Every structure is written in structure tokens, then in C-alpha cells.
């Protein structure tokens, strides 16, 4: 399956939820999985969303194609010894919600929750800082 791509977001694609916090009001692709409108939260260090838009779009673009990074992190410490992630696993991830934070120090962090076809009755949690996985595991 070919990787899906996001079209660059514009200011009209965001709803302000609270100071420095926005939701995306359209479908966005993360881990090659379409997400529902309003399931992505973006937190920024100030309310000048226009200033942060290029960085947000760049990061969302990377999140659609980060399969090798995610697969490598998953296989480094698998949940079950006989469970291995591969391209098929990546293609079948479902994303339920995501929070992307642009931090004061210029870094980006993300917390993404979803499901996969490896452990069906648990939530797959992925935490990233910039383009590195800092945690991947299951909740449940």
C-alpha cells in the first residue's frame, strides 16, 4: 500500500480550543492512517499559529512516512517475544488521537494513541521527541 500524504494545513484548518491549544478540523494522516476531524490537538508556545504552521506541516508530513523509525523502535523491545512489526503492521495501525506539542526550546513532542493488529485488546501508545521514539508500548 502506498503511503498517504497530508495536504499542507492552513489557518482555517484549526479551531482554537484554549490558549495555545488548537484542534485540527479535518482528516489528517498519521502513521499512514487517516484520523477523524478534531482528534488531533496541537499545542504551541504562543498563539501565533501562522508562525508555527510550517513546522506543524513538516512534522505531520514526517509522521505519515516514519515507518522505519516506528518499526525499529517496536522491534527493539517487543511486547511479546514472537510478535514482530513490519511494513504490514505499520500499514494497519489505527490512530485514535494525537497531541503534538511545539515546545519552548524548539523541539516537538508527540503522544499518539491507537490500535494495531498485534495486540487487539490494548491501546498502542507512542511517544516521540522530534523524530525519535521515546516510548512505544501498550496500555490495557
Q: Which residue has the higher pLDDT, 62 or 83?
A: 62
Q: With H, G, I as helix, E, B as strand and everything else as coil, classify residue 104.
A: coil
**What residues have CB less than 8 Å from 73, skipping those under 6 apart?**
133, 136
- Banded pLDDT at 2 (limits 50, 70, 90): low
**Rg, Å, the chain Cα set:** 15
Q: Which residue has the higher pLDDT, 87 or 140?
A: 87
Model pLDDT for residues 19-72, shown as the tens digit of each residue: 999 999 999 999 989 998 889 999 999 989 999 999 999 999 999 989 999 999
In angstroms, the CA 93 to CA 124 distance is 9
In angstroms, the CA 28 to CA 36 distance is 7
**With contact defined as beta carbons under 8 Å apart, do 138 and 79 qualify?**
yes
Residue 6: what pLDDT? 86
Amino acid at each position: 500500500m502506498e503511503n498517504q500524504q497530508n495536504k499542507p494545513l492552513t489557518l482555517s484548518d484549526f479551531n482554537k480550543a484554549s490558549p495555545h491549544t488548537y484542534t485540527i478540523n479535518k482528516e489528517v494522516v498519521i502513521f499512514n492512517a487517516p484520523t477523524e476531524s478534531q482528534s488531533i490537538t496541537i499545542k504551541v508556545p504562543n498563539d501565533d499559529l501562522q508562525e508555527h504552521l510550517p513546522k506543524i506541516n513538516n512534522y505531520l508530513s514526517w509522521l505519515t512516512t516514519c515507518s522505519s523509525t516506528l518499526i525499529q523502535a517496536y522491534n527493539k523491545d517487543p511486547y511479546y517475544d514472537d510478535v514482530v512489526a513490519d511494513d504490514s503492521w505499520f500499514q494497519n495501525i489505527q490512530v485514535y488521537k494525537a497531541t503534538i506539542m511545539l515546545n519552548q526550546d524548539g523541539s516537538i513532542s508527540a503522544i499518539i494513541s491507537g490500535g494495531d493488529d498485534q495486540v487487539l485488546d490494548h491501546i498502542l501508545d507512542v511517544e516521540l521527541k522530534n523524530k525519535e521514539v521515546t516510548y512505544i508500548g501498550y496500555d490495557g
